[in-house]
Structure 1
């Protein structure tokens, strides 16, 4: 009990010294300093420069924790920004290229991670590259659709499958065949993107691995 009384007395003395300079945070700063050993606190009460240094340190720690909680809160807010608003911004930029396929291209680009989409909004060179790639993919798909011959479509799928298998083998050689088979069920546009975007391919492989393990 004596120790608790002693701590309470130290707390009151500390608070009275801290309050004049740090009215708003006096309570928090006192609480932080009270975590130190009683002997150190007693020294602080007798040594003003030691107390000032300790208070400044506690103040910095307090500011950092407040800043990080603000950042976390901002990140949560950012994360909650709807895909719709990202999609609208992206559509406006894609539409500038006047490809005649703005809606489809925007849809294809929106399949990427939100961070990647934000990067496209801020970097016109990367966006242009992705738009051209998506346009090329769409044209290839349209050629495939207009081609009456089913065998050529089968050939395309075979070629895609071979390319995909060689890439998947680098990531997971043990389950490459199973994983490739699962990924090939995706639509052609997504498959083309997987071939050109290694990060996206890795994500698809991880999903397939998870499905195989269940």
Structure 2
């Protein structure tokens, strides 16, 4: 298991080093805290890897920034709660569940100490994400969505996606949105909530269009 992780680490380091030479070691270490299957998926999916590296970079910058001491205790409490929520969302988001915001909200209902434990224990976080995901699935099953509502859902996702894609490439927005809509709905929701990932996916679609011409 350790050898497999070492191999993954070497592959990740090589990919990250070309773009982030100085921070490559630190970024690789941060990503290696994620589960093996997620890491393997990242190595196959450039967009997912780029998004994860961007998040790790942001977390790194937060660590390096000197903490600003607030005069009011209330501000400190709300700021630390916001910070916990943001950090938790970043970690939950990596699992590509398509329900990052909902799951983060569910996990934040716990005591602050429990949330802090999740941030420092990847295995515990993974378990909690799976539990929250199962709960969401059960809620969806109870609602008993029909095929019609699935079609409506895809249509709504398509409309939201199109408006974002149009801002990036108005000329080919229709073609690019059409290509993106071939993805799973969960992945589409992920794209809508993660701008970095969306940019990467749009870039891929643009390259495919250029090649097809």
Bigger relative contact order (CA 8 A; separation at least 6):
2
Measured against the shorter chain, the TM-score band is 0.3 to 0.5
TM-score normalised over the length of structure 2:
0.46
